[in-house]
Structure 1
Amino acid sequence: MTTFLRPGDRVLLTGDSITDWGRDRDQPDSPWGLGHGYAGIVAALAGARRPDLDLTFHNRGIGGDTTRMLRERWQPDALDLEPTVVSILVGVNDTWRRFDSGAVTSVEEYEGHYRAILQATRERLDPRFVLVEPFVLPVPPVQPAWREDLNPRIHVVRRLAAEYDAALVPADGLFAAAAARTPPERWAFDGVHPTAAGHGLLAEAWLAAVGLSA
């Protein structure tokens, strides 16, 4: 069975707290280094469904990261690991910091940081990319203005996914559809950070994007 993944792939999942999610930063490449969010679920299910691929997973998410912060640590936390697959979920903090501390990252700056990350990685390693849309749900502290700020960033990710031939995880629409069936708090308890069910939903979408659905 053909998938986006290949035998022996080294998969890096990175971004902000949604990826970080309880990982042991002191032992990043131990069994505890994947955390207990979607990154850990992805590694567990991918390994169970395709043990023949002999995949290695790394989690380098850091809570609170914006695209600028991710770019600043990209060398040690990404390039030095020499991954063959790079998965990125970042953007909600670029929006959040505007509303809680007045630190504005324009959409142009967001795209510039994101593009620089992708281009540097392509030139150095030429990996396959998985880009995950940032998302929010209407649960406080999220307000309608957040959506107006985040939507253009989601479109940036979609555009970059097409440009860099990446697998796209359509997380924003996925969570919106789930929240139309049940209260949004079932999926993200504060509109940003997923519940256990939300992490499961995101992990299944990630696996579907790379051809490893159940």
Structure 2
Amino acid sequence: MSLTPDDTLLFIGDSITDAGRDRADPASLGHGYVQQIARTLRTGSEGTGPGPEIINQGVNGHRVYDLESRWTTDVIDRRPTVLTVKIGINDTWRRYDRVLPSPVAEFEACLERVLAHTRQKLPAARLVVITPFLLPVTSDQEGWYEDLAPRTEAVLRAARGTGAQLVRADQLLPAAAEKHGAAALAPDGVHPSPRGHRLIAEAWLTEMRKGHEHRGRRGIR
């Protein structure tokens, strides 16, 4: 995977990334996929030892505009070598529970700005984008796809346009839900269970390996 103790891995997003972290403790990673990635990298199959520095900058309830407002201090100033972004579900959810729209075109432009800004300021950093997902557990949530489907396409365009690696949570979790049931992976349809977080963590680790192998092949040519 070619991650070393000199690397800084930063994860930013909403409550799915936050996962109950203690914001008074900079070392707190929450109890979600970020913590599970850290555990694997530091003591699991990737080897033993301290591993890379890992920072969780997820904040419960945030939309893409909230990320942009804190991007310089929470991302650029920390100079990560690997940056992972998970955002989008609240931009959909707030439309339905608070009548707070996030037009897809504006959402996409905002996400493109922060990713492009990162490319400019941290050209050597690896970018990873995790797509938003939904596992409907109520009939009302089924209607969210009207907003979420085009938003997910916007996330894909923004990621590909900046050369980011992709973790397709929008495909992975619904496929797993066919076997385990939606509520087993996200009891409220949005926030993952420990099993759901583990699936995201495993997909992220797999993408890191794929990205390293691809970069290695390019270097040989």
- TM above 0.5, yes or no, is yes
Q: Does 1:35 align with 2:30?
A: yes
Q: List per-residue Cα deviations over 1:4-43 (Å, max 9, x = no partner).
A: 6466210101100000011110111x2xx11110010011
**1:144, distance to aligned residue in structure 2 (A):** 2.0
Give me the whole-angstrom Cα distance separating, in 2, the residues matched to 1:44 and 1:7. 14
Q: 1:109 is matched with which residue: 106, 111, 120? A: 106
Q: 1:144 to 1:193 in 2, by over 3 A?
A: same
Q: How does 1:173-212 map to 2 (within 5 A)?
A: 173-211=171-209
Q: How does 1:63-142 map to 2 (within 5 A)?
A: 63-126=60-123, 127-140=125-138
Give me the whole-angstrom Cα distance separating, in 1, the residues matched to 2:4 and 2:154. 27
Give me the whole-angstrom Cα distance separating, in 1, the residues matched to 2:78 and 2:198. 26
Q: Residue 100 of structure 1 aligns to which amino acid in structure 2?
A: D
Give me the whole-angstrom Cα distance separating, in 1, the residues matched to 2:98 and 2:155. 24
Q: What residue number does 1:148 align with?
A: 146
Bigger drift between 123-132 and 59-68 goes to: 123-132
Unaligned runs of 5+ in 1: none
Q: Does 1:54 align with 2:71?
A: no
TM-score under structure 1 normalisation? Answer: 0.91
Give me the whole-angstrom Cα distance separating, in 2, the residues matched to 1:195 and 1:141. 20
Q: Do 1:142 and 1:190's aligned partners in 2 also have CA atoms closer than 8 Å?
A: no
Q: What residue number does 1:162 align with?
A: 160
* Root-mean-square deviation over aligned CA pairs: 1.7
**1:55, distance to aligned residue in structure 2 (A):** 1.0
Q: What residue number does 2:214 align with?
A: none
Q: Do 1:6 and 1:53's aligned partners in 2 also have CA atoms closer than 8 Å?
A: no
Give me the whole-angstrom Cα distance separating, in 2, the residues matched to 1:69 and 1:40. 23
Q: 1:16 is matched with which residue: 14, 17, 20? A: 14
Give me the whole-angstrom Cα distance separating, in 1, the residues matched to 2:197 and 2:22. 18
Q: 1:45 is matched with which residue: 40, 45, 55? A: 40
Give me the whole-angstrom Cα distance separating, in 1, the residues matched to 2:17 and 2:118. 19
Q: How many residues align structurally?
A: 207
Bigger drift between 134-143 and 184-193 goes to: 134-143
Identity of aligned residues (%): 42
Give me the whole-angstrom Cα distance separating, in 2, the residues matched to 1:15 and 1:55. 20
**1:51, distance to aligned residue in structure 2 (A):** 4.3
Q: Residue 153 of structure 1 aligns to which amino acid in structure 2?
A: R
**1:85, distance to aligned residue in structure 2 (A):** 0.9
Q: Do 1:141 and 1:191's aligned partners in 2 also have CA atoms closer than 8 Å?
A: no
Give me the whole-angstrom Cα distance separating, in 1, the residues matched to 2:36 and 2:204. 10
Runs of 4+ deviating beyond 2 Å? 3-7, 50-54
Q: List per-residue Cα deviations over 1:137-163 (Å, max 9, x = no partner).
A: 011385222112111111122222222
Q: Do 1:42 and 1:203's aligned partners in 2 also have CA atoms closer than 8 Å?
A: yes
Q: Do 2:5 and 2:53's aligned partners in 1 also have CA atoms closer than 8 Å?
A: no
